[in-house]
């Protein structure tokens, strides 16, 4: 992997920024370079929030993502706003319990009922972001599951065990559809 650009989109409160920070942290702990930014700017207005991560073996200068290689879509509004922007042959992971009728013929789309899983198996939609992170690892193998656990330990002050379970569950769910 030389350089991968991620856009994690959803709505405020879904933990998309935390997801991005843990992803970038795992890459750093894996010896790679990473830059994470969240949009505060006018491009984020209108109920959709997004977080961007670039992971690379080489120095990263321009810190933002214009067209992502990998898009995560966790809400209808975010899907409508960012759903078209993807590199040719990119990867889109859609929380199918939150987004309906997602179409994009440039990319490979993976539909997973992430929020539903979070509710049913973890008792709260709060775990959707970590489940999604697990799914992301399962689909892209951008970093190892162990590095992701290390990043969770660094980044989350509480709930390490349950979050690691959510991570593993998302990973497993993604592997089922590969």
In the complex, which residues of this chain contact another protein (CB under 8 A)? Answer: 21, 24-25, 28-29, 33-38, 40-43, 60-64, 66
Cβ distance to another protein smaller for residue 43 or 172:
43
Cβ distance to another protein smaller for residue 27 or 98:
27
Cβ distance to another protein smaller for residue 155 or 165:
155
- Find the shortest distance in angstroms from Cβ 122 to another protein: 26
97-131: buried (b, 16+ CB within 10 Å) or exposed (e) per residue?
Answer: bbbeebebeebebbebbbbbbbbeebeebbbbbbb
Cβ distance to another protein smaller for residue 38 or 116:
38
Contact (CB, 8 A) for 63 and 54? yes
- Find the shortest distance in angstroms from Cβ 21 to another protein: 7
- Find the shortest distance in angstroms from Cβ 44 to another protein: 9
139-173: buried (b, 16+ CB within 10 Å) or exposed (e) per residue?
Answer: bbebbebebbbbbbeeebeeeeebbbbbbbbbbeb
């Amino acid at each position: 992997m030389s350089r991968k650009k991620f856009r994690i989109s959803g709505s405020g409160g879904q933990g998309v920024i935390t997801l991005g920070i843990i992803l970038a942290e795992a890459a750093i702990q894996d010896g790679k370079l990473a830059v994470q930014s969240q949009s505060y700017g006018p491009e984020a207005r209108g109920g959709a929030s997004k977080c961007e991560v670039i992971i690379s073996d080489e120095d990263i200068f321009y810190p933002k993502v214009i067209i992502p290689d990998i898009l995560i879509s966790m809400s209808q509004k975010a899907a409508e706003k960012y759903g078209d922007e993807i590199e040719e042959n990119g990867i889109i992971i859609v929380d199918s319990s939150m987004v309906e009728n997602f179409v994009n013929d440039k990319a490979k789309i993976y539909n997973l009922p992430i929020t539903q899983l979070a509710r049913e198996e973890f008792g709260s939609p709060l775990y959707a972001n970590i489940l999604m992170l697990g799914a992301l690892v399962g689909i892209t193998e951008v970093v190892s599951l162990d590095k992701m656990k290390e990043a969770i330990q660094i980044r989350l002050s509480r709930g390490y065990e349950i979050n690691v379970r959510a991570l593993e569950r998302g990973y497993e769910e993604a592997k089922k559809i590969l």
